[in-house]
Structure 1
């Protein structure tokens, strides 16, 4: 995720990041400009069509409908991005609440505090890597009871780590360090961990319906590649930059929507999960 100042207009008008849609679309824009230039040359020097009355009327109507589709597409993608951010905000709050309650319920400097601090940190790290499809036990911090052998053979590491946290809490209850009321309070926080993970998995594993995705791309392609046929009659050589800019606007919106609809990756516009996990671990270290 890129940190930036949204008030710095001039910087972002003339600055191009490697993930900028302009750079991604540059080859296609150059190809479209050459394609339009061919139409301009053929019309002005060979065919000399008689100008059609209002040649861009049909494209204006189709462009309006396409704009509505892209607005819906972008809003849907942003909703997924924002829901992912909200869920990770819940992870942050639940981790802090859980740690604060443990710090209060357990005796000072009790060894379970250190174990649970490591397990919660492991859980959030594993959730992050699990959502990116590359969770592995080598990135975890091991303890005496929960070492490499404990995690070995489990494909869903977050579930295994959450099971370890439940085991620790149950043992504290059995030892009389946590009473039934406190156990119930802690259980609410633990349940929220699994609920948040399930919601994140829903976002990750449920993409935009493929038929809808393909339809928008086809409409953009047909709209842009037929636009020179009528734009040349109205704008002559000016149709080259006009058609290219129209393509940049429509295709750029679609590319941005594609990027933010899966918010848990490592793209420039994805959520900054690495920093979130780092900050939560810092909070846990202070509290416990």
Structure 2
């Protein structure tokens, strides 16, 4: 995720980074500029349409559809941001729950070996969940001295949670923790799985295809018809105007596409590696 100062207006305006939609749209904007220039030349020079031509009235359609397309883009952007923000809340809850579990482990456990194992397993869950959501390859050898079960588990976060629960259950059987303490620790572990399930729901349930495809088609045909009507008012200045309108509309759609899956590697996705590292540091400070 890009870190920035929201008060630095000029840096936003005059600097471009790899997450900027302008760079991604340059080829298409160049094509639209050429297309708009051709339409302007045809209407002004070749066809020599007069001010009384009915083609001029196409702007009425644009005025009517402008409100519709604005509503669609607002809904699209808000829906995508809701998914991004929900993902951030889930990982914020994972930070807090990891701290709570680490504090309880630090207080309840007396055996240094048990503490050392939990010091590795708790932050490992966040690291593995991060890689799981990115569909990255995850090694079973998470630590030098602790190798998890073999490949019959494809869901690695579940495997980490099961390993923690198995060790907690063994500690209960060995008399190292009480039944009440077992219940408390089980609730914390359950919250880990709830967070994982919520993140998977966001990742595996994209915006419906028909809805996303309709918005793209709507933007395309809306922009492609702009030069026909506005050439009469703007002449060849219709070229930069149409390009700018396309840039605004397409940028909103690109932003929504990028943030609707907040667990990827795009510039504006969530900094999961940083959050996982924060969890590791917090757990190591709490369990000693």
In the superposition, the TM-score normalised over structure 1's length comes to: 0.95
Q: Tell me the secondary structure at the aligned position of residue 187 of structure 1.
A: helix
Match of 1:72 in 2: 75
What does 1:214-229 align with in structure 2 at a 5 Å threshold?
Answer: 214-229=213-228
Q: CA RMSD in A?
A: 1.3
| Aligned match for 1:62, one of 53, 65, 70 | 65
Q: 1:231: Cα distance to partner? A: 1.3
Query: Is 1:249 the equivalent of 2:252?
Result: no
Residues in 2 aligned to 1:141 and 1:231: alpha-carbon distance in whole angstroms: 65
Is this contact kept in 1: 2:141–2:147, CA < 8 A?
no
CA offset digits 1:6-47 (Å, max 9, x no partner):
110000101111221000001000110111011111111111
Q: 1:139: Cα distance to partner? A: 6.7
Match of 1:116 in 2: 118
What does 1:78-157 align with in structure 2 at a 5 Å threshold?
Answer: 78-107=81-110, 110-137=112-139, 140-143=142-145, 146-147=146-147, 150-157=149-156
Is this contact kept in 1: 2:103–2:286, CA < 8 A?
yes
Which range moved further: 213-222 or 151-160?
151-160
Which range moved further: 54-63 or 248-257?
54-63
Instruction: Give 5+ residue unaligned stretches, structure 1.
Output: none
In the superposition, the TM-score normalised over structure 2's length comes to: 0.95
Is this contact kept in 1: 2:106–2:286, CA < 8 A?
yes
Is this contact kept in 1: 2:33–2:243, CA < 8 A?
yes
Query: Is 1:15 the equivalent of 2:1?
Result: no
Match of 2:43 in 1: 43
What does 1:170-249 align with in structure 2 at a 5 Å threshold?
Answer: 170-249=169-248
Q: Tell me the secondary structure at the aligned position of residue 141 of structure 1.
A: coil
Residues in 2 aligned to 1:139 and 1:112: alpha-carbon distance in whole angstroms: 19
Q: 1:153: Cα distance to partner? A: 3.8
Q: 1:151: Cα distance to partner? A: 3.7
Residues in 2 aligned to 1:276 and 1:136: alpha-carbon distance in whole angstroms: 18
Instruction: Give 5+ residue unaligned stretches, structure 2.
Output: none
Q: Tell me the secondary structure at the aligned position of residue 275 of structure 1.
A: helix
Q: 1:211: Cα distance to partner? A: 0.4
Q: Tell me the secondary structure at the aligned position of residue 6 of structure 2.
A: coil
Cα distance change of structure 1 residues 137 and 205 upon mapping to structure 2, 3 Å threshold: same
